[in-house]
Structures are given as C-alpha cells and as structure tokens.
Amino acid sequence: MIKISANVQSALADETLQGNLRRALVDTPHPRDEAVSEVPNWEELRRYARDVKAHTLSRLPEYLQSLEEKVLEQGGKVIWAETGQEAVQFILDLSHRRGVREVVKGKSMLSEEIHLNRALERAQIKPVETDLGEYVIQLAGEKPSHLVAPALHKSRKEIADLFVQKLGMAPTGDVLEIIATARKLLRHHFLTARMGITGVNFAVAETGTIVIVENEGNVGLSVSVPEIHIALMGIEKVIPRSRDLAVFLKLLIRSATGQKMTSYVNCLNGPRRSDELDGPQEFYLILIDNGRSKILADDYMRQSLSCIRCGACLDVCPVYQTIGGHAYGSTYQGPLGAMLTPLLTSVGEAPEHAFASSLCGACHEVCPVGIPIPQILLKLRERFQSERNQKAASLSLEKLAMQGWARVMCSPILYARLGRWARMLHTVLGKSGMGRLPIPLFSRWMKHRDLPALPPRSFRELYSSSQEAS
C-alpha cells in the first residue's frame, strides 16, 4: 500500500528540495503560458483533441488492430502484453536469444511503470538511460520525480557533485561541461549496445507510424544505431490518423516545455529496409495493458486514458510544488498520478492519492486534452469510501460521523441546537481547550493554525431577534 502521508514530513523538511521546487516551478513563469497564449485557437484544439481521444478510446480494439496490421506490413513485430511482467519477460527472453548485454534507453515512463531496469539488471543486462535527466537519476540510483523533467528535484550543483562523485569529473559549475561529459560517455554506449528501448508518444493507426519527441538526439540514436529497437507503448497512445498528429504535437510540446516544436520528432515506420542506410534490423512494438483495459471498461474513468503525459498538471499543482514527485511514492505523480495510480492499481492499494489534492482545479485548467482531474478525484474518493464501508464488518467511525452530520444538516432544529452547543463549548474551553479535545479534526487544524474566535450568537439568532425587534 502506498501512503503519501508517510513521505510528507521529510519532503517539507528537505530545504534543498524545497528550494529546487520553488525555483523551477513557483518563482519563474512557466514557458507554457506564453507558448499557449501564442495559439489563438488553443481552446478549439483542446476540444478537438479531447474528442479525438474519446472517439479513439471508444473503438480502441479496432484502432490497435489496424496499428498492428500496419506495423506487421512494414516488417515490424507486435507483442500484446497484458501485464508489465509479460512485457518485461518478452524483453528478457529476446535479449537472451540475441545475446544482448547492454541496452540504451530513451526516456519512458512506461518502462518505469513496469520496473524494467530492475529486471534487466537482475538478468545481468545493463540498462543505460540516455536522456540526460534520466541519466542523472540513474547515476543517483533514484526514480524520476517528474515525467517530463525526471531530475527536476535536483539543483545544478547537486548534479555537478554527482558527476564528480560517480564519474570522476573535475568539479565544475559549468552546465555545458556537465552535458559534454555525459554526451561523451553516452556516445560509447550507443555504439556498443545492441538493443534500444524507448517509449512512444503517439502511434498512428492508419500508417503504423511510431512517434517519439525529444530534444537531445538520444532517442534518434537509440532507435537507429542498435540492431534491435523495442518500443513500449501503453494501449491508450494510439491515434487514428496522421492528420491528428499535428494537433497532438502542438498540444503536447507547448504544454510540456513551452517549445513550438521539440528539436527532434522521430517518426518511425518499422525496421530498416534493404534500400535504407540506417535503422534497426528488428523492430518490436510492445502494446502494454497493465490495468488500462480495466479503466477503459469504466465509462466515467475512461477519460483519464486521454492523458498525453505532458506534465503541465504537475507544473501548476500547488501540492506537487510543495512536496515534489517522490513523496507520491508512485511512478506517476502530481494530479495525473493522484488520478492514475489508484486507477491502474486499486483505491485500496493507493488509498491516499485521490485525497492528496485541494481540488483547486489548476490541473484541469491547463490540461491540453481537458481531463477534469478534480472531478475524477472526487469520484475516486467516493469509490474509496464505498469500498471501505462495504468491506468493513461495521461502518467506519468516519462514515457514522458523516451519517450523523447529514442527519443534523437535514434538520434545522438539530442544526441550530448543535451550533449553539459548539459555540458554548468554545466559550467554556477557550481556543486552546478546543485543541486539546480528543477530536482529530481540531488537533490537526490547530497544529498549524489558530481556531477562529467564535461569536456568542449565530446569524440566525441575531436575525430572529432583529425581526422581533422591528
């Protein structure tokens, strides 16, 4: 079971993390804002993308089949993996058959989701992350804290120190020098690794094209230099037509980094053909379910599968800005993680995720495909409570309290009487006395804040006496 609450204190007490989060996300305006404001029909594009996604999800098996056919026609192979474990097993088996000892990887959150690196290492196969942020994370032995900027929680200095410590680089504050060091080391891996593994941003059903965006050129090398390319794809990433791609790329890239276009957009159509100069000899597309068809079968929750993983909701989320990604304890973090983690696993496995939000709505406001994340979180809260109270032999104390509360709120007389008693109690005990009552509601509130001074009379009492007077 993942508990966010267990990680909050340490995240808040970590001054370096707090400084890094603030510098990256709060004190500097996000480049997204300007990039979005430059597109006059942004809202129209959002609606279009949302409709395309809804349509695609409503006919997902059809589109996936058409994608498979096209990939096969182009000489690629398609593997359907119901679980992460099946995908991992396929990669391990293929690596053994081909004698692969080293793998270069493009940034892929799905690879994190299925814990691929751990499995490769156990099988004595060396995974090398080639995205600079992922490379840093791998050196540090950590997990990404942001799906677009995996090392967002680290400062320039922390990264420089890491390079000195792990790679024997001479101490420097120069970012370009850090990048040059990584580049030189990675070049070597691209030449020696015989397998490249990447994620997929979009897969076009009508053409079988796999689209991967990037800025560093590392994906381009990972998919062309090694003999084998494996693309890991969540089944929700398929889009019907090439013409939709222009819209999705615009929405994704502007939302993610504020760029007009990434430095590279890799559009891949199967392995190298006889008349081509480069590309892998073998291409495998692994279509991974890992809990997605369960979400797909749920009419309400299905919309969460429209997510294109731009990360904008993390950037604007005040909770994410306050605790960072690692505190979520899950592969996906921020609002998107709060939504997807309990959906991909279960509300019992991630009982706090849906509650770790003030429901401020900043995520919905920026979401390029308009996913109403706060409303999905509310629905998840509802499911959590009903599952909890169905399972429990007797109703939870909270449920009983809520039932009692509802009864009071449906009875104006009880409501007025209870309000009067609460105010009387407050008069007798005083503010600090209220905090000492064995009621978590008060003590948790008063840990950081004072209680308001309560008035002797309620509005309704004042109102009725003024009516009598007049």
Partner 1 sequence: MKVSLFITCLVDQFFPQIGISTMKILRKLGVEVEFDSRQTCCGQPAFNTGYAEEARQVARHFLEVYGDSDHIVVPSGSCSTMIKVFFPKLFAEDSSQRSLAEEVGQRTFELSEFLSSVLEVESTGARFPEVVTYHDSCHLLRELGISSQPRQLIRAVEAIDFREMDHCDRCCGFGGAFSVKFSDISAAMGEDKVGWIQSSGARYVISSDVGCLMHIRGLLERQQSPVQTMHLAELLAKFED
Residues in touch with partner 1 (CB under 8 A): 4-5, 8-9, 12, 26, 318-319, 322-323, 354-362, 364-365, 375, 378, 380-386, 398-399, 402-403, 405-406, 408-412, 415-416, 419, 422-423, 440-441, 444-445, 447-452, 454-455, 457-464
Q: DSSP state, 329?
A: -
Q: How far is the CB of 321 from partner 1 (least distance, A)?
A: 8
Residue given tokens 């979401």 in the structure block: 367
* Smaller CB separation from partner 1, 280 or 374: 374
Q: How far is the CB of 408 from partner 1 (least distance, A)?
A: 8
Task: Calculate helix-pair angle for 175-192, 132-140, nearest 10 degrees.
Answer: 90
Q: Minimal CA–CA distance to 222: which of 191, 244, 247, 246? A: 191
* Smaller CB separation from partner 1, 204 or 356: 356
User: How distant is the alpha carbon of residue 453 from its chain centre?
Assistant: 41
* Smaller CB separation from partner 1, 284 or 328: 328
Q: How far is the CB of 342 from partner 1 (least distance, A)?
A: 12
Q: How far is the CB of 407 from partner 1 (least distance, A)?
A: 8
Q: How far is the CB of 448 from partner 1 (least distance, A)?
A: 4
Full 3-state SS string of 125-170: CEEEECCHHHHHHHHHCCCCCCCCCCCCCCCHHHHHHHHHHHHCCC
Q: Are 26 and 321 in contact (CB under 8 A)?
A: yes
* Smaller CB separation from partner 1, 203 or 316: 316
Q: How far is the CB of 395 from partner 1 (least distance, A)?
A: 11
* Smaller CB separation from partner 1, 59 or 457: 457
Q: How far is the CB of 138 from partner 1 (least distance, A)?
A: 29
Instruction: Please list, in sequence order, all residues whose beta carbon lies within 8 angstroms of the beta carbon of residue 191, skipping any fewer than 6 positions away.
Output: 225
CA distance 256 to 246: 15
* Smaller CB separation from partner 1, 9 or 263: 9
Spell out the alpha helix ranges (H) of 172-302.
175-192, 218-222, 242-256, 292-296
CA distance 143 to 155: 16
Q: Are 194 and 98 in contact (CB under 8 A)?
A: yes
* Smaller CB separation from partner 1, 281 or 465: 465
